[in-house]
């Protein structure tokens, strides 16, 4: 099989580019992580499924991967620009809890989702508040030439660097809506590097700095941790598409100032060679908004009985750069597809993996490799996997090896899942699985004895408890909880 070079879409140039590494054989990736003031919604988790597929692809292609994901526990305001309150401070005040407890609780909740979605652990979860000294040093280094002080803090003057905002291109409506009006700012797009604690106030999180007691601006942390942990320039920086408008242009501006590199005609002057952004998961009724009371958390999907990997499957079915609309029907369809794949994979489970390079699979492996190398086209990759599963009259070990190899990129955990794991199991079910199975055994015995009255009665009792008995189901399911 020919090795297909990896091509990725660079948001900075808006072009598909052939991936080459800064350091031979190594791939260094930084992903903007969650702000841990609340549970992540499933849209947030799409950003990490995407970053995970990218990381897995780089490992699969043989690069030595260093992946950093940060945890934002300070600085992110309720507005992405400089107005509003710190999200962490606000939640802590509402709950009358310490910020540190809030951060701990929601970091752990995020990690639980990461695990449930089979997202690999990065080399490091870098926590913003562990890098305050480095942030102050970084800010000191750029303050004279690029910043000015106002009563509310230290601000970055975006007119001091070339090509400010190139990543965002035109000021979009979204971007424009977010430009805020801190009095005294030289340019509307100038942003806080350091936010001073107002006179007479005390914040839970504040540190001494040359600009007074206060807290870092949100964008600073990613410049500092990316540069410190991966070295400038590193290979790839990722985030959701909203970050293309404010957070990443500001990070880039800081990196340019710090590295004394000017124009962005050369991508690595931005701090990273390639900037990648996943598009949004959308939901029409507004259940994605964390301010809307009950919102779409992974746990809600699980409580309704869906295996979390059905959501991963849903993400993989779409290209990461396309908007993806969430619906329960769509999730159900993704689950059914995953079930079919797992049923076929289950037949290969007891056979040790053989050598995947068998002629019968060459075209599917080629199709898979080409699709993934084409800016991570997982939806075509999934088709190639299904085609490989459907190949007949072939050694099971060879087939297993082919599927395992593809699953290293897709991360569906195919050989650890069983069909039973994927059964819909709502939390509200009034009957346990063991009870259902016992009833179904009784029903089978009744049928053998031609006691159809009893067998029908059992069916109806089960139906009353929300269990649908599925005689003759093509996927071999005997029952389903509604």
Summarize as ranges the residues that interact with ligand AMP (CB under 6 A): 32, 34-35, 43-44, 46-47, 239-240, 242-243, 278, 280-281, 288
246 binds Zn ion (CB under 5 A): no
Q: How far is the CB of 220 from ligand AMP (least distance, A)?
A: 15
Whose Cβ is closer to Zn ion: residue 222's or residue 467's?
222
What is the C-alpha to C-alpha distance for residues 180 and 4, in angstroms, rounded to an integer?
46
With respect to Zn ion, which residue has the nearer C-beta, 32 or 114?
32
Query: Binding segment for Zn ion among 12-20, 27-35, 309-317, 355-363 (CB under 5 A)?
Result: 27-35
32 binds Zn ion (CB under 5 A): yes
- Say if strands 147-150 and 124-127 run parallel, antiparallel, or are unpaired: unpaired
Binding pattern for the stretch 170-209 against Zn ion, x by CB under 5 A and - elsewhere: ----------------------------------------
Residue 317 burial (C-beta neighbours within 10 Å; 0-12, 13-18, 19+): middle
Q: Choose the one of Zn ion, ligand AMP, none that binds residue 43, judging by a C-beta under 5 to 8 angstroms depending on kind.
A: ligand AMP
Q: Which is nearer to ligand AMP, 149 or 242 (CB)?
A: 242
Residue of closest CB approach to ligand AMP: 240
**Closest CA relative to residue 19, chosen from 49, 57, 53:** 57
Query: Between 323 and 468, whose beta carbon lies closer to ligand AMP?
Result: 323
Residue 242 CB, nearest distance to ligand AMP (Å)? Answer: 5
Q: Which stretch binds Zn ion (CB under 5 A): 6-14, 32-40, 44-52, 330-338?
A: 32-40
8 A C-beta contact, residue 409 and residue 379: no
For residue 92, state whether it binds Zn ion (rule: CB under 5 A): no
Q: Provide, rounded to whole angstroms, the least separation between the CB of residue 96 and Zn ion.
A: 29
Nearer to ligand AMP, 160 or 278 (CB): 278
Binding track over 208-237 against Zn ion, x by CB under 5 A: --------------x---------------
If contact means CB under 5 to 8 A according to the sort of partner, which of Zn ion, ligand AMP, none does residue 281 touch? Answer: ligand AMP
30 versus 479: smaller Cβ distance to ligand AMP? 30
**Which of residues 218 and 479 has its CB atom nearest to ligand AMP in the complex?**
218
Residue 338 makes contact with Zn ion by CB under 5 A:
no
Picked from ligand AMP, Zn ion, none, the partner binding residue 222 (CB below 5 to 8 A depending on kind) is: Zn ion
The one segment of 5-13, 29-37, 145-153, 257-265 that binds Zn ion by CB under 5 A: 29-37
| Least distance between ligand AMP and beta carbon 240 (Å) | 2
Comparing CB distances to ligand AMP, the nearer of 47 and 458 is 47
Q: Which has the closest alpha carbon to 405: 414, 396, 418?
A: 414
Q: Rounded to the nearest whole angstrom, what is the least distance from the CB of residue 103 to Zn ion in the complex? A: 16
Taking the least distance from each CB to ligand AMP, the nearer of 54 and 342 is 54
Per CB under 5 A, residues contacting Zn ion are 32, 222
């Amino acid at each position: 099989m020919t090795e297909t070079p990896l091509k990725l879409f660079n948001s900075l140039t808006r072009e598909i580019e052939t991936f080459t590494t800064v350091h031979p054989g190594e791939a260094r990736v930084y992903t903007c992580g969650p702000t841990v003031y609340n549970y992540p919604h499933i849209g947030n988790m799409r950003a990490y499924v995407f970053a995970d597929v990218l990381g897995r692809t780089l490992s699969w292609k043989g690069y030595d991967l260093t992946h950093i994901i940060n945890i934002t526990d300070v600085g992110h305001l309720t507005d992405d620009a400089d107005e509003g309150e710190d999200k962490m401070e606000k939640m802590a005040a509402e709950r009358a809890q310490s910020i540190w407890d809030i951060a701990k609780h929601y970091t752990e909740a995020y990690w639980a989702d990461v695990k449930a979605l089979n997202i690999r652990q990065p080399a490091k979860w870098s926590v913003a508040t562990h890098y305050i000294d480095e942030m102050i040093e970084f800010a000191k280094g750029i303050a004279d030439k690029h910043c000015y002080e106002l009563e509310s803090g230290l601000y970055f003057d975006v007119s001091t660097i070339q090509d400010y905002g190139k990543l965002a291109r035109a000021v979009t409506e979204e971007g424009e809506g977010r430009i805020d009006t801190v009095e005294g700012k030289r340019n509307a797009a100038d942003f806080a590097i350091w936010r001073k604690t107002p006179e007479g106030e005390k914040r839970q999180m504040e540190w001494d700095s040359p600009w007074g007691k206060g807290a870092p601006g949100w964008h600073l942390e990613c410049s500092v941790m990316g540069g410190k942990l991966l070295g400038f320039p590193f290979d790839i920086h990722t985030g959701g598409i909203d970050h293309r408008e404010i957070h990443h242009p500001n990070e880039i501006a800081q990196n340019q100032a710090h590295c004394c590199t000017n124009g962005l005609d050369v991508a690595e002057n931005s701090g990273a060679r390639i900037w990648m952004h996943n598009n949004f998961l959308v939901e029409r009724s507004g259940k994605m908004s964390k301010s809307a009371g009950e919102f779409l958390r992974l746990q809600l999907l699980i409580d309704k009985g869906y295996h979390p990997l059905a959501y991963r499957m849903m993400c993989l079915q779409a290209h990461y750069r396309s908007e993806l609309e969430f619906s329960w029907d769509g999730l159900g369809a993704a689950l059914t597809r995953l079930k079919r794949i797992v049923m076929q994979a289950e037949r290969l489970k007891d056979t040790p993996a053989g050598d995947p390079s068998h002629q019968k699979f060459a075209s599917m492996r080629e199709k898979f490799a080409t699709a993934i190398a084409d800016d991570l086209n997982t939806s075509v990759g999934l088709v190639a996997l299904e085609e490989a599963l459907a190949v007949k009259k072939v050694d099971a070990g060879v087939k297993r090896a082919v599927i395992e190899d593809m699953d290293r990129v897709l991360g569906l955990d195919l050989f650890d899942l069983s069909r039973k794991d994927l059964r819909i199991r709502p939390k509200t079910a009034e009957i346990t699985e063991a009870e259902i199975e016992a009833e179904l055994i009784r029903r089978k015995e009744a049928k053998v004895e031609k006691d159809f009255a009893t067998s029908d009665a059992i069916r109806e009792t089960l139906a009353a408890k929300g269990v649908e008995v599925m005689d003759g189901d093509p996927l071999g399911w005997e029952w389903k909880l509604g």
